[in-house]
Structure 1
Amino acid sequence: MSFASLHVPGDPLLLPNVWEFGLAASLAAAGHPAIGTSSLGVSAAGGFADGAPDSRAATVSLARAVTPLDVLVSVDLADGFSADSGEVAELVADLADAGVAGVNLEDGRADGTLAPVALQCALLRTVRARVPGVFLNARTDPLWLNAGSVADAIARARAYADAGADGVFVPGIAAPEDVSAVVAAVDVPLNVLHLPGKTTFAGLASLGVARVSLGSTPYRVALAAALATVAAVREDEPLPVPPPAYGDVAALLPEHPEHPGHR
């Protein structure tokens, strides 16, 4: 089973995003075919700004830790952690050699602007030429950053597909007519971010979406659950979510080579 084959318009891949090994191992043990990393989750866990260059090492470390699991792995590389396309391509090549199946590269920048289309296309072409086998998911952020329209997102998505992207990711899109417009305009699989209260998995599937990412939602839910647990203990109330047993979590860790979900 290839990562690309999981991207089926109308029958999308649900991609949970992780920030640490335990959740990745739990998802693998539960039979999920693929996971992604969360830029916000990895950055926050390390005490860095989202997608900051300082989070590069943590991102690579997590990717190397989870690739031995029986699950396909896509890594969120933000803007690639470098302005040098050759350096970004080498990073992707190193991750592919470690067993990573896919990567995300985005055109949004930390200052809220978008990379010039020509510059982003050049980056994608460089990565594609250096690493032909990895699933290259090109994220475009006009809607996420409130820096453009649906038409802008479509224009960028089409340019990135022409530059060699295997799929395009348009976070922030939610209205059915907008999702349908992107699906119709772009010849590669469309990845959409699930937005609680605004989109549904079944609804996105019906519109022809091929991949639904959870993004930072699991990380933020975990924070909420942890805070609620502390509050529940203080008030002598039942825990909001029953936790797995200590031993069950320990059995997922690498020192247990036979743990569920390990290759």
Structure 2
Amino acid sequence: MSKAEQFRTLHQGRAPGDPLVLPGPWDAAAARVLAEAGFPALATPSAGVAASLGYADGATPADEMFAAVARIARAVDVPVSADVEGGYGLAPEELVERLLEAGAVGCNLEDSDGGVLKDAHAHAEFLAGVRRAAADRLFVNARIDVFVHGDGDPEQAIERAALYRAAGADCVYPILAPAELVPLLRSGIEGPLNLLARLDGDGPSPAALGELGATRVTFGPGLQRRTAAALREIAAGLLP
């Protein structure tokens, strides 16, 4: 079974309370730690990778992002999905080619640009192009930014999810959806649902998100930021 097939299988038949938990490595060293801890797959966070490379979130050049993903994928034996933001303006065929060259088996693609939601139908066409180019070689996770860059209307999130799923997205990701809206989203969205878990204790645990309907749980740049905070504390203790 290929890594892409392994990754796809991990999303199937998840029981309530048992979502696929995908921590986000920002470099090869972090990826090895997480793989050695026993996680069956990993999902890079674009913001965490950006921080590791010295860029603000959303400012990483495409070449550097793909190179970082390649280093991470090369460092571990488990499947790696890559957050490639909005696709860097690449045509679907080139985007897919670069993801596969980097060793990724999946990708996150955002439906906003510069803090503004994209036209949902145009984005669905883009996702359809990615699906055609990738066939079954990539697991496409379509991020829905209604709760971060839109008005927070759950019905709009559900409508976008339906368009993206019809276009061939394997999973949808209404990032920052409030926990109290998750049951409504789950009831209106067909197929795998990705939800964000926070590491500061302010929000449901991964298991609780699974009970609410999450198929998989990711953490965005949470692990990288928590690690940076720990390093700051250690560094402060080293000063005379």
TM over 0.5: yes
Q: Secondary structure at the match of 1:64?
A: helix
Instruction: Give CA deviations for 1:177-208 in whole Å, capped at 9, x if unaligned.
Output: x1111111111200001134122212111122
Deviation string for 1:35-89 (max 9, x for gaps)? 111111111222323123x43122211221122311110000100011x5x2x43
The CA distance in 1 between the partners of 2:135 and 2:210, in whole Å, is: 28
- Equivalent residue, structure 1, for 2:26: 19
Alignment of 1:150-165 (within 5 A): 150-165=154-169
2:119 to 116, 140, 143: 116
Q: For 1:152 and 1:183, how far apart are their aligned partners in 2? A: 14
What does residue 131 of structure 2 align with? 128
Partner amino acid for 2:229? A
Distance 1:220 1:97 in 2: 28
Aligned letter for 2:103?
Answer: G
Distance in 2 between residues matched to 1:30 and 1:22, nearest whole Å: 13
* Cα drift, residue 90 of structure 1: 1.4
- Within a 5 Å distance, the mapping from 1:167-246 to structure 2 comes to 167-176=171-180, 178-195=181-198, 196-234=201-239
Distance 1:31 1:45 in 2: 23
Rg (Cα) greater in structure:
1
Secondary structure of the 1:151 match is helix
Q: Which of 36, 39, 59 does residue 32 from structure 1 map onto?
A: 39
Point out where structure 2 has 5 or more consecutive residues left out of the alignment: none
C-alpha contact (below 8 Å) 1:43/1:55 kept by paired residues: no
**Which amino acid in 2 is paired with 1:100?**
A
Q: Which runs of 5+ in 1 are unaligned?
A: 236-263
Q: Is the 8 A contact 2:66 2:98 kept in 1?
A: no
8 Å Cα contact 2:173/2:193 also seen in 1: yes
In 1, the alpha carbon distance for the partners of 2:116 and 2:152 equals: 10
Partners in 2 of 1:185 and 1:89 — Cα distance? 31
One-letter code aligned to 1:118: H
- Structure (1 or 2) with the greater helix fraction: 2
Partners of 1:49 and 1:122 in 2: CA distance = 29
1:260 is matched with which residue? none
For residue 96 of structure 1, the aligned residue among 86, 97, 100 is 100
Judge which range, 54-63 or 132-141, deviates more. Answer: 54-63
Question: Is the contact made by 2:116 and 2:150 (CA closer than 8 Å) also made in structure 1?
Answer: no
Distance (Å, rounded) in 1 between the aligned partners of 2:167 and 2:84: 18
Q: Does structure 1 residue 144 correspond to structure 2 residue 148?
A: yes
Instruction: State the 1:9 CA deviation.
Output: 5.3
Contact conserved, 1:51 with 1:81, CA < 8 A, in 2?
no
Aligned length: 229
**Cα offset, 1:98, TM superposition:** 4.1
Does the CA contact (< 8 Å) of 2:131 and 2:168 recur in 1? yes
Partners of 1:45 and 1:101 lie apart in 2 by 22
Contact 2:67 2:102 in 1 (8 A): no
Matched to 1:33, the amino acid is P
Aligned CA RMSD, in angstroms, stands at 1.7
Looking at structure 2, the residues matched to 234 and 47 of structure 1 have their Cα atoms a distance apart, in angstroms, of 24
Superposition TM-score, scaled by structure 2 size: 0.89
What is the identity percentage for the equivalent residue pairs of Structure 1 and Structure 2? 35
- Call closer, same or farther: CA 1:57–1:147 in 2, change over 3 Å: farther
1:116-135 CA-partner distances (Å, limit 9, x unpaired): 01110011010000101210
The 2-side partners of 1:66 and 1:106 are apart by 21
SS of the aligned residue for 1:126 comes to: helix
- The answer on whether the counterparts of 1:51 and 1:79 sit within 8 Å (CA) in structure 2 is no
Q: Partners in 2 of 1:215 and 1:19 — Cα distance? A: 10
CA distance in 2, matches of 1:9, 1:80: 32
TM-score norm. by structure 1 comes to 0.82
SS of corresponding position for 1:48: coil
The question of 1:64 aligning with 2:67 is answered no
